[in-house]
Amino acid sequence: MTLRDKQIVVGVGGGIAAFKAVELVRELGRRGAKVRVAMTASACRFVGPITFTALTGEPALTDLWDPRYPGEVHVELARWAHAIVIAPATANLMARAAQGFADDVVLATLACANSPVLMAPAMHERMWRAAATRRNLERLTSDGVHFAGPVQGALADGSVALGRMQEPAAIADVLAREVFAVRDLGGVTILVSAGPTLEDLDPVRFISNRSSGRMGYAVAAAARDRGATVILVTGPTSIPVPAGVETIQVRSALEMQGAIASALPRVDAIVMTAAVADYRPAESKPRKVKKQGETMTLELVKNPDILAELGRTRQGKRPVLVGFAMETHDVVGYGRKKLVDKRVDLVVANEASVGFGRDDTQATLVGREGDEALPPMTKTELANRILDRIKAKL
């Protein structure tokens, strides 16, 4: 999607990367977009509003009570915007936006936005990793906010770490590709399985794995944004499920199998990101198991291989089947074996070290036509690459 004639509000936050918002505004202008800029009070300490005014030909807005606007400037800006880009999104702005604060021109515009919002966070790695920032990121993501970056690179204090603002051209790319996504999956129903399964030993203990659910939720959200009807079958996770998708919460592999089987007649494609436990306890005790001898032996029985079963029993080429292979070694080799053994259309192969619990990932798409090793990217970008492949097979 081109940005030509798109009306973009750029909201600038108060971080060192505010100087890169200048380049972002120029880049959006070069791509044919019309840009208006709103700034927080802190942003004005880093870059002068006149810089943006000169670049856009429109006064940069810094004040909710700007006397040049007889009406409500934030309402007018939000109505004008085809999209709002917050760059840099400071930890503070993310926190306040997650709460719905509206006490400056950037936040008030966000609070009455009815167009998509893209945030490009930039902050010290410790701020990015802070528990409060993680919570705010998850809240904003489930509210439908898109994110570009941050990326690994040199930070303001000279350290090299995760927290650097995505480059302006890359932010414009995400805007074009993800935010103004072509609704090219209208009429298609996609089932996504996500998260771990929990296999109960007794009422208080279970066997599980470290799957966070992030990859599956990213696929579900991206498919929704591209117009698909999405059914998300998810094991227990600690992150909010994406809005606007039909969600079926399950616990064990057997429950996941049942939920998928009942949705199956409706679906055109299945993306199995769930980390389904291979085994479950032979018996789940009704009462808590008491401590006994020095060692304990657990008897496990095999869980159904949901993906292989779908591959074996599907009629013709429907539904399109995508599996994931997360391994610690020979990732692509195992991916190819899975593709053949389980009779699926595509395997997304990645290493355990780059997958679990992170927002970014690196994968190889293993298909019948060959392998495509992808560069590091966000899970949303990977989700869109997978959806492109599904679209080609529908």
Ligand X SMILES: Cc1cc2nc3c(=O)[nH]c(=O)nc-3n(C[C@H](O)[C@H](O)[C@H](O)COP(=O)(O)O)c2cc1C
CB of 96 to ligand X, least distance (A): 7
- Which of residues 102 and 254 has its CB atom nearest to ligand X in the complex? 102
Whole-angstrom CA distances from 251 to 10, 66, 236, 280 are: 42, 53, 6, 12
Amino acid letter for position 296: M
| Catalytic hit among 114, 209, 350, 384 | 209
By 3-state DSSP, what share of the chain in percent is helix, strand and coil, each rounded to 5? 35, 25, 40
CB of 133 to ligand X, least distance (A): 9
Please, is 101 exposed, middle or buried when counting C-beta atoms within 10 Å of its C-beta (0-12, 13-18, 19+)? middle
Residue for token pair 């657990």: 298
- Between CA 12 and CA 276 the distance in angstroms is 43
Nearest approach in angstroms of CB 360 to ligand X is: 19
25 or 122, CB closer to ligand X?
A: 122
Name the minimum Å distance from CB 16 to ligand X. Answer: 5
Distance, in Å, from the CA atom of 17 to the CA atom of 85, rounded to the nearest integer, reads 14
Q: Tell me how far, at minimum, the Cβ of 41 lies from ligand X, in Å.
A: 7
Instruction: Please state whether the peptide bond connecting residue 49 to the residue before it is cis, i.e. omega within 30 degrees of 0.
Output: no
* Residue in the block written with tokens 């930039």: 122
Minimum distance between the CB of residue 115 and ligand X, rounded to whole angstroms? 21
C-alpha–C-alpha distance, residues 213 and 313, integer Å: 26
* Cβ 100 to ligand X shortest distance, Å: 15
Nearer to ligand X, 17 or 230 (CB): 17
Residues ≥6 apart with Cβ < 8 Å to 25: 10, 35, 37, 52, 55, 56
Quick one: 11 or 116, whose CB is closer to ligand X? 11
The nearer residue to ligand X, 96 or 226, going by C-beta atoms, is 96
Give the sign of the dihedral formed by CA 142, CA 143, CA 148, CA 152: negative
Identify whether 209 is a catalytic site residue. yes
Place of tokens 């904003």: 140
Q: Where is 198: in which H helix or E strand?
A: none
* CB nearer ligand X, residue 47 or residue 307: 47
For the chain, the C-alpha Rg in angstroms (whole number) is 23
Closer to ligand X by CB, 36 or 338: give it: 36
Q: Measuring CA to CA, how many Å separate 148 from each of 88, 119, 168, 377?
A: 10, 6, 10, 10
Residues engaged in binding ligand X (CB under 6 A): 13-17, 40, 42-43, 90-93, 122-123, 127
Q: Identify the H or E element spanning 234.
A: strand 229-234
Other CB atoms within 10 A of residue 134 CB? 14
Catalytic residue annotation: 209
